[in-house]
Structure 1
Amino acid sequence: MPRALWKGPFISKDLFRKLESSTKILRTRNRSTVIVPSFLGKLIEVYNGKNYFPVLITEDKLGYKLGSFIFTRNYKKFTKNDRKLKK
């Protein structure tokens, strides 16, 4: 279910304060912040649990959450067992 419209989008207060005061790259661990138009053109580094990954905010990303552009799990492609191939 989508978030109730009367509540509005969730924006981290700390991130919003940093955004207004700084022009440098912003670092955040808050993946649940919704991207709003005031973030446009900014570079935000989002933490995935191990490293910070840069996200450049464009118009296509408005309304999404920061965490939807950062993967937290490694993708492991299935490979055949080497022992069977050697025989």
Structure 2
Amino acid sequence: MTRSVWKGPFSETRMPKKNTKKIGLRIWSRRSSTSPELVGCYAQIYNGKIFIRSEITNEKVGHKSGEFASTRKTSRTTKIKKNNKVR
């Protein structure tokens, strides 16, 4: 279910300050929508353990900030040992 149009997009982020392009804006709220004012800024999005650095571009406007910081680890595949013994 989507958010009502009359409510507008949800955003907990503060407006960026002057040096935000270099330092970055820390975002703990993964449910916040990115706004057009943040285009060109760097954001550090919290994934539950560490902050993931991401640059906000025009393509990311309107999406949730949690979409850009994955919370899952990549799985490692185990190597199968070959048994060269002949029976």
Q: Is the shorter-chain TM-score for this pair beyond 0.5, marking a shared fold?
A: yes
Q: Percent identity?
A: 33
Q: Report what 2:4 is aligned to.
A: 4
What RMSD in Å do the two structures reach over aligned CA positions? 1.7
Secondary structure of the residue aligned to 2:44 is strand
1:16-64 Cα shifts (integer Å, max 9, x gaps): 24x2x34231112111110110110010000111111111000111110
Q: Which structure has greater helix proportion?
A: 1
Q: Report what 1:28 is aligned to.
A: 27
Partners in 2 of 1:68 and 1:86 — Cα distance? 44
Query: Partner letter of residue 53 of structure 1?
Result: I
Secondary structure of the residue aligned to 2:32 is coil
Partners in 1 of 2:70 and 2:4 — Cα distance? 27
Name the larger-Rg structure: 2
> Where in structure 1 are there 5+ consecutive unaligned residues?
none
Q: Report what 1:16 is aligned to.
A: 14
After TM superposition, the score normalised by the length of structure 2 is: 0.79
> Where in structure 2 are there 5+ consecutive unaligned residues?
none
Q: Name the count of aligned residue pairs.
A: 81
In the TM superposition, what is the alpha-carbon distance from 1:86 to its structure 2 partner? 3.6
1:1-87 aligned within 5 A: 1-12=1-12, 15-17=13-15, 19=16, 21-24=17-20, 25-79=24-78, 81-82=80-81, 85-86=82-83
After TM superposition, the score normalised by the length of structure 1 is: 0.79
